[in-house]
Amino acid sequence: MSASTQLSPSSTEGGSTPSANTLSLGGTLPKPMPPATLAAIVVLGAGTLYALDAWSLPMLAVITIVGYMVAITTASAFYENGRKAKDRLVTAVVYTCFALAMVPLVSVLWTVLSSGLVRLDGYFLQVSMNGVTPSMDAGGAYHAIVGTLMITGFAAVVSIPIGLLTAVYLVEYGRGRLKQAITFFVDVMTGIPSIVAGLFVVALWIMLFGPGKTNGAAGAIALSVLMIPVVVRSCEEMLRLVPNELREASYALGVPKWLTIVKVVLPTAIAGITTGIMLALARVIGETAPLILTAGSSAVAINWNLFEGQMMSLPVFIYSQVRMGGAINYERAWAAALTLIIVVMLLFFAARMISRLFAPKLGR
């Protein structure tokens, strides 16, 4: 063996010489360096804007983002390598996009909280607007809360079984052109404007019961038209995520298909199905236009009967208060908006508890 082909012990035993396929990553930036760089750029940007008498928070944000990306990418390329520099640049872009997405959400929540807490109290939640004139510093949204819960609850009772069973058919039984037609019409219904659903129910109600028959049930039917396609699509996607191995194992044990769906498929997908249903509820609980047409917008008293008389809801209550104008009415509108957010949060919390209760137990 020639001397050129012999390996020295130091290169094989000690492992000090890297192989040809080993990627040299270079050094690594200290962990405190990225946050320290960000803080330094914020301070420098704020000082520069203040010195130029051009102070602006959006401008400071732009300077900070651009400056941090340039600084951290340059430092990483110098001390680490090109791949690490690209990774840090993309990471900065991702965090920036996340922050930009959170800005409107935080802004809306802060505005609703700061404006709604002024009037939101036990009195506001326990009384209605019956006998209260718009200029009076009195009245609350109890009748609207009752109407929202009644109308949305009835819409859920109508929509959830229809949407879930349609999704089960599309995933487990549907074949051929009928499945394609159902999928097409569900997709079309997903994009229907809410005012069109309200007009459809108004026309249906006039045809069945005559003109002027607005009530909570009509509003619930209008919301169910909007809710059903969302339930179908979300539940369909969750059912498709259930592994086929679970179905095949159940069939191998002699379990019929319908019982496999009830005992295996649905419990496995219950968490995703619950989330999809809650997203559908959140999509319709804030609708205003169809409820103005179907449930009315002038109810001021508490109404527990969905099939008799007009029924107020929180979105319509907010709209009516803003339309009347005045500081007191605006305060009622903000308090009702905060109440609606709280109702949605409570519904999501209850849905999470239900999904945990019925989800299959994975422990031994």
Regarding whether 216 and 105 lie in a shared domain, the answer is no
- CB distance 154 to 306 below 8 Å: yes
Nearest CA-CA partner of 315 in 340, 344, 335, 347: 340
Q: Which of 116, 148, 172 is the last residue of a domain?
A: 116
Say if residue 58 is in the same domain as residue 102: yes
C-alpha dihedral, 329 to 335 to 339 to 345, nearest 10°: 140
Q: Which of 268-282, 327-341, 346-360 has the lowest mean pLDDT?
A: 346-360
Is residue 103 located within the same domain as residue 146? Answer: no
Residue 363 within a domain:
no
Q: Which of 292, 289, 287, 293 is nearest to 203 (CA)?
A: 293
Residue 134 sits in the same domain as residue 75: no
Write the pLDDT tens digit of every residue in 10-37: 444 444 444 433 334 457 888 888 889 8
Domain match, 35 and 156 both: no
Domain count, the chain: 2
Which pLDDT score is estimated for 90?
Answer: 92
Could you tell me the pLDDT band of residue 163, with boundaries at 50, 70 and 90? Answer: very high
The pLDDT tens digits for 312-339 are 999 999 999 888 888 888 989 999 999 9
Q: Are residues 108 and 141 in the same domain?
A: no
**End residue of a domain, out of 116, 150, 172:** 116
Does residue 17 fall inside a structural domain? Answer: no
235 and 295 part of one domain: yes
Give the model's pLDDT for residue 4.
43
Residue 8 in any domain: the answer is: no
Residue with tokens 């063996």: 1
- Which domain covers residue 183, as residue numbers? 126-358
CATH number, domain of 257, equals: 1.10.3720.10
Q: Give me the pLDDT at residue 361, please.
A: 62
In this structure, are 112 and 162 located in the same domain? no
pLDDT of 297 reads 80
pLDDT at 26: 56
On whether both 107 and 149 belong to a single domain, the answer is: no
Query: Is the per-residue pLDDT at 187 higher than 80?
Result: yes
* pLDDT score at 31: 85
Residues 206 and 351 in one domain: yes
Question: Residue 121 domain-assigned?
Answer: no
Q: What is the pTM of this model?
A: 0.77
Position 191 in a domain: yes
pLDDT digits (tens, 9 = 90+) for 108-147: 999 999 988 888 888 888 888 888 877 788 888 899 999 9
Average pLDDT, the chain: 84
Out of 59, 86, 116, a domain closes at: 116
pLDDT greater than 70 at residue 196: yes
